[in-house]
Amino acid sequence: MIKEAIVKIVNKEDLSYEEAYTVMNEIMSGETTPTQNAAFLAALSTKSARAETTDEIAGCAAAMRDHATKVETDMDLFERHGAPVEEKHFPGKESQSMEQALDVIIKKLELGEEQFETAAVILRTEGEAKKAAGILKEKLAAAGFDTENRFSYLHRDSTSFCKGLTVTTFYLAKGLEFDQIFSLFPEADTSALAKQGRYIAATRALHKLHMYEYGN
């Protein structure tokens, strides 16, 4: 499968979740050569101006996780130092319940001289992040928040973001940390990808974590 995947990526095509999982499973099982591994990773990182897709990241990550040594622990997934995790569900139609959640986020945002320097709202997809960013920017501007200098919508083509509030997806938040995190996912999505997204969002928080879900 790795040979076919390399050809597909070189031709600027995206891999499906299953294809990415299969290739990484072959790599982790030792069925491929070092040259093939290098060619696959190089092609994946340079196939286009875009970053790797969500399916490619999730498929590769799932395969690596399946080969990892499992460690049994009684530690809660969200056990952390600092303030307790806030978990909240906003029922109703997705569009309305998302906006209700965003209203609460605005009220609970702790950005200021005597508060935090950074906060982020992390969502599942780029479409959801773009929608949330538009709503938040409009409402925050109306409330007097400095959206020009302290608000960022981090997407695939972004080159930087500022201190203050950042809105982005879980796959673009990987490797970043924020003082306060609001994870906002549809309650109905219990897929492996969404679970991974929630985990990534939760591990971005330095001090305060809010795990929110919306919709029926």
**What are the tens digits of pLDDT across the range 98-123?**
999 999 999 999 998 889 999 999 99
Cβ–Cβ under 8 Å, residues 122 and 169: yes
Q: Give the rounded percent of residues in the chain with a pLDDT score beyond 70.
A: 94
Which residue reads 């969502």 in tokens?
123
φ, ψ at 123 (rounded to 5°): -120, 175
pLDDT for residue 50 is more than 70? no
Helix (H, G, I), strand (E, B) or coil at 51: coil
| Distances, alpha carbon 72 to alpha carbons 75, 76, 78, in Å | 9, 11, 16
**What are the tens digits of pLDDT across the range 165-205?**
999 999 999 889 999 999 999 999 999 889 989 999 999 99
Q: Are strands 178-186 and 164-169 parallel, antiparallel or unpaired?
A: unpaired
Cβ–Cβ under 8 Å, residues 88 and 210: yes
How high is the pLDDT of residue 77? 54
